[in-house]
Amino acid sequence: RSKKNKTHIFLPHLVASMEDVEETYIMVKPDGVQRGLVGEMISRFEKKGFKLTGLKLFQCPQELAEEHYKDLKSKSFFPKLISYITSGPVVCMAWEGVGVVASARKLIGATNPLQAEPGTIRGDLAVQTGRNVIHGSDSPDNGKREIALWFKEGEVCQWTSAQASWLME
């Protein structure tokens, strides 16, 4: 077999599954960074088989936190939430994969860590809603919106994972 044929052997499978591919915005919150849990959280998404397309440590300005959580503006905890999210650096991530939005929410677990199942990120690593260590987009549309909000053009990287054909049939 020629070298050229080998590099193209799995391409039809990848093309066939492209339409189901989603993207989601995942963020390690300041408590997760301070507690040294960044690697642990990234590892869970990597091991599951999702593809990292954006990653940065970032001090979130007040206006961006307010824009990100604008749907919660009327809630009594909103000021506390904004000061929490801006209290230290966060780790911004874009992840890509088939069904990644709902699957990431399952990996993350319930908003209240005491109600989150053991085995989930919040279930294993957190105790309070106001310190629940991680964010994940709740819909494919919000995934796109939030990635555009938190990343500048050129910061999200498209690449082909060498694992793809071993993860997807």
User: Which residues of this chain interact with ligand ADP, rule CB under 6 A?
Assistant: 77, 81, 111, 129-130, 132, 135, 138
Q: Is 73 annotated as a binding residue?
A: no
Query: Cα(96)–Cα(48) distance, rounded to whole angstroms?
Result: 12
Query: Cα(51)–Cα(94) distance, rounded to whole angstroms?
Result: 8
Q: Kindly tell me which of 53 and 132 has the beta carbon lying closer to ligand ADP.
A: 132
Q: Kindly tell me which of 56 and 105 has the beta carbon lying closer to ligand ADP.
A: 105
Q: Is 122 annotated as a binding residue?
A: yes
Instruction: Work out how close the CB of 5 gets to ligand ADP at its nearest, in angstroms, rounded to a whole number.
Output: 46
Point out the catalytic residue in the list 8, 13, 68, 135: 135
Q: Is 111 annotated as a binding residue?
A: yes
Q: Is 77 annotated as a binding residue?
A: yes
Whether 13 is catalytic is: no
DSSP designation for 120: B
CA distances from 3 to 7, 8, 146, 166, 167 (A): 7, 9, 41, 20, 23
Instruction: Work out how close the CB of 127 gets to ligand ADP at its nearest, in angstroms, rounded to a whole number.
Output: 13
Instruction: Work out how close the CB of 77 gets to ligand ADP at its nearest, in angstroms, rounded to a whole number.
Output: 4
Instruction: Work out how close the CB of 8 gets to ligand ADP at its nearest, in angstroms, rounded to a whole number.
Output: 41
Query: Cα(128)–Cα(122) distance, rounded to whole angstroms?
Result: 9
Find where tokens 């690449």 sit. 159
Q: Kindly tell me which of 4 and 70 has the beta carbon lying closer to ligand ADP.
A: 70
Residue 78 is encoded by which pair of tokens? 């909103």
Q: Which residues contact 63 (CB under 8 A, 6 or more apart)?
A: none
Judged by DSSP in three states, 26 sits in strand
Binding site residues for ATP, as ranges? 29, 77, 105, 111, 122, 132
Binding-site sequence positions: 29, 77, 105, 111, 122, 132
Catalytically active residues, by annotation: 135
